[in-house]
Amino acid sequence: MMMKSPASFSSRTRPLIALLLACAMLGNLTFGQSGRAPQQEPTRKRPVKPVPPDPLPTPKSAEPQEPKPDTIRINSDLVTVVASVAVPAGAPSRALEREDFEVLEDGVPQEIVNFARDADVPLRLVMLFDASSSVASRINFERRAAARFFERVMRPQDQAALFAVATDVTVLQEFTHKVSLLTNATKQLRAKGATSLYDAIFLAADYLKPVPGRHLIVIVSDGGDTTSAKDLKSALAAAQKADAVIFAVFTGISSSQNLRDLAAERALATLTAETGGEVFYPKLPGISDEGVDEQSLTYLDATFTKLADQLRTQYTIGFYSTNEAHDGRFRKLIVRIKKQGYVARARSGYYAPKS
What pLDDT, in 10s, does the model give residues 120-149?
899 999 999 999 998 887 888 888 889 989
Contact present, 96 and 339 (Cβ < 8 Å)? yes
In a domain, residue 6? The reply is no
- Please indicate, yes or no, whether residues 293 and 337 belong to a single structural domain of this protein: no
Q: In what order do the strands lie in the sheet with 279-280?
A: 169-176, 159-165, 123-130, 214-221, 244-250, 279-280
- Please indicate, yes or no, whether residues 132 and 231 belong to a single structural domain of this protein: yes
Backbone angles phi, psi at 18, to 5 degrees: -60, -40
CA distance 271 to 278: 9
In a domain, residue 158? The reply is yes
In a domain, residue 223? The reply is yes
pLDDT above 70 for 46: no
**Beta bridge pairs of residue 207:** none
Residue 204: its H or E element? helix 197-208
- Please indicate, yes or no, whether residues 233 and 270 belong to a single structural domain of this protein: yes
CA distance 264 to 224: 5
- Please indicate, yes or no, whether residues 139 and 187 belong to a single structural domain of this protein: yes
- The CA distances from residue 40 to 27, 32, 37, 44, in Å, are 17, 13, 9, 12
pTM greater than 0.95:
no
CA distance 354 to 112: 22
In a domain, residue 36? The reply is no
pLDDT of residue 142: 86
- Please indicate, yes or no, whether residues 223 and 309 belong to a single structural domain of this protein: yes
The number of distinct structural domains making up the chain is 2
Confidence tier at 259 by pLDDT (50, 70, 90): low
Looking up residue 256, the CATH number of its domain turns out to be: 3.40.50.410
In a domain, residue 225? The reply is yes
Residue 165: its H or E element? strand 159-165
Confidence tier at 15 by pLDDT (50, 70, 90): low
What's the mean pLDDT in 192-203?
96
- Please indicate, yes or no, whether residues 176 and 88 belong to a single structural domain of this protein: no
Q: What SS3 state is found at 19?
A: helix
DSSP 172: E
Cα angle, residue 260 at apex, residues 163 and 170 outer, rounded to 5°:
10
Q: What is the mean pLDDT of the chain?
A: 80
pLDDT of residue 92: 73
In a domain, residue 63? The reply is no
Amino acid, res. 316: T
The fraction of the chain above a pLDDT of 70, given in percent, is 72
- Please indicate, yes or no, whether residues 162 and 207 belong to a single structural domain of this protein: yes
- Please indicate, yes or no, whether residues 345 and 211 belong to a single structural domain of this protein: no
CA distance 208 to 235: 13
Q: In what order do the strands lie in the sheet with 101-105?
A: 108-110, 101-105, 330-337, 349-351
Residue 332 domain boundaries: 78-118+315-351
Contact present, 165 and 124 (Cβ < 8 Å)? no
pLDDT above 50 for 65: no
pLDDT above 90 for 266: yes
pLDDT above 50 for 43: no
Amino acid, res. 39: Q
CA distance 191 to 138: 9
Between 25-29, 79-83, 117-121, 282-286, the lowest mean confidence (pLDDT) is in: 25-29
- Please indicate, yes or no, whether residues 169 and 185 belong to a single structural domain of this protein: yes
Neighbours of 124 (CB within 10 A): 20
- The CA distances from residue 98 to 113, 192, 269, in Å, are 9, 47, 29
pLDDT of residue 76: 61
CA distance 168 to 170: 6
In a domain, residue 192? The reply is yes
Residue 45: its H or E element? none
pLDDT of residue 47: 34
- Please indicate, yes or no, whether residues 225 and 333 belong to a single structural domain of this protein: no
In a domain, residue 233? The reply is yes
- Please indicate, yes or no, whether residues 98 and 156 belong to a single structural domain of this protein: no
Q: What SS3 state is found at 182?
A: helix
- The CA distances from residue 306 to 37, 62, 316, in Å, are 105, 61, 20
- Please indicate, yes or no, whether residues 199 and 339 belong to a single structural domain of this protein: no
Q: What SS3 state is found at 267?
A: helix
What's the mean pLDDT in 4-20?
48
CA distance 336 to 339: 9
